[in-house]
Amino acid sequence: MSATSATLRLFGGVGIEIEYMIVDADGLSVRPIADELLREVGGGYELEFERGPLAWSNELALHVIELKTNGPAADLGGLGALFQQHVGDIESILARYGARLMPTAMHPWMDPDRELRLWPHENDVIYKTFDRIFGCRGHGWANVQSMHINLPFGDDDEFGRLHASIRAALPLLPALAASSPFVDGAPAAVLDARMAAYRDNARRVPSVSGAVVPEPVFSKAEYEGGLLQRIYDDLAPLDPEGVLRHEWVNARGCIARFDRDAIEIRVLDTQECPRADIAVAGAVIAAVRALVEEHRASQRQQRALETGLLAEILEATTRDADQAVLRSADYLGLFGFPGRGPCRAIDLWQHIVETSAAGQPHCAEWADALSLIVRRGCLARRIRDAAGPNPEPERLRAVYRRLSDCLRDGALFEGDAV
């Protein structure tokens, strides 16, 4: 989402950003040619080109291309088909280079130390600064693809309400969206390996990421004067020119974008095709909206949630995704879950889908994708089911070839053995 109108109120629009890997059409190893792809459509090496209602862009790694709504969409209606159309356009161009797109949140055998190529053109000083300070030749920078959801707010009160509710829902999101179960050619220790890598990528300056779950901050003045200023102050000795002194340097799981009056949700792994991504977005927005509108829990209850509790839940869903066990009765009560638990995260998501997401506008466009996640598990689990516990390289390649076909064809990945 390039910008949000300042007149948009809560849930008056939505911005979606989805990142994909560019890989070799035959071997599926990464191909750092995003700049050549963008040159094909725009005639130059700019970071972003607008293509009607969507824009194509690159951020940092040359093997990654991002598709995003060109400004806020009114709602999610038709976005799955629109993104799928642009995936097809990109595939047609990449075919001339012997390349294609691959979905999911991490390349399963990329060697980031050897294969990363940073964007070398417009605004490259930003990426060079990130690399100098944090060292981008690791999975946490070079091998993390995600979907971002941007939700608008109209004033300071709406910002506080929205931030409180997103913060409350944030730890549940990997349970729905984890898609990164393989790293370095082997099963990862967690189902959402992207989140595990992302959590630690800025450890040289810990305030940049914090606990990933944001602090309980509910006004613009407190956010800018406290949370962001602390990051800027901590970065200043390493970045005296202030190259990174912008609100986007904040790497928490959701960040305030006051430049476009929106909050950006960042903890969602990329799925197998746009229809699945939009399904995840629909469920997440429904969960957040129910919290904002205080269907089951007041703003006071939401704002009182301890960061430590939320971080513990996020750690559990990062590790076990849909099968993470949720034990806090108070947390389950935020969503009106029947009983006091414990329960699996996917059981809570099924409850949220049935009570909040079902019946939302356009939900019929992605109901089958949500049904698959509830029935067969998150994409990471389905990938593991298909690959087996310790797959040989060719078997892993076959699974990710099927995933790439799903992206090309707009098909859901069932997770059956290859």
Look up the CATH number of the domain holding residue 368: 3.30.590.20
109 in a structural domain? no
Q: What one-letter code names the amino acid at 108?
A: P
Tally of domains within the chain: 1
377 in a structural domain? yes
pLDDT, one tens digit per residue, over 54-109 is 999 998 999 999 999 999 999 999 999 999 999 999 999 999 999 999 999 999 99
Q: Is the pLDDT of residue 2 over 70?
A: no
The domain in which residue 303 lies consists of 120-406
pLDDT of 380 reads 98
- Record the pTM: 0.96
Say how far apart CA 114 and CA 136 lie, in whole Å.
11
What average pLDDT does range 267-284 have in this prediction? 97
The CA angle 198-203-207, to the nearest 5 degrees, is 95
Say how far apart CA 77 and CA 75 lie, in whole Å.
6
Return the closest-CA partner of residue 15 out of 88, 74, 81: 74
311 in a structural domain? yes
Residues in the chain: 418
12 in a structural domain? no
Return the closest-CA partner of residue 319 out of 417, 177, 189, 154: 189
pLDDT of 416 reads 80
Q: What is the mean pLDDT of the chain?
A: 95
pLDDT of 3 reads 44
The CA angle 106-100-265, to the nearest 5 degrees, is 40
280 in a structural domain? yes
What average pLDDT does range 383-389 have in this prediction? 96
Q: What one-letter code names the amino acid at 106?
A: M
Say how far apart CA 176 and CA 15 lie, in whole Å.
19
Confidence of residue 52 (pLDDT cuts 50, 70, 90): very high
Q: Please identify which residue in the block is written with the tokens 């729905």.
A: 176
Q: What one-letter code names the amino acid at 289?
A: R
104 burial level (CB within 10 Å; 0-12, 13-18, 19+)? buried
pLDDT, one tens digit per residue, over 11-22 is 999 999 999 999
63 in a structural domain? no
Contact between residue 320 and residue 189 where contact means Cβ atoms under 8 Å apart? no
Return the closest-CA partner of residue 249 out of 89, 418, 167, 130: 130
For the ranges 38-47, 82-91, 240-249, the lowest mean pLDDT is seen at 38-47
What's the alpha-carbon Rg for the chain, to the nearest Å? 20
| E strand segments, 175-333 | 182-183, 186-187, 254-257, 262-269, 325-326
What average pLDDT does range 237-244 have in this prediction? 97
144 in a structural domain? yes
Pairing of strands 54-57, 64-69: antiparallel
Say how far apart CA 260 and CA 241 lie, in whole Å.
24
252 in a structural domain? yes
pLDDT of 5 reads 44
Q: Please identify which residue in the block is written with the tokens 């939009």.
A: 278
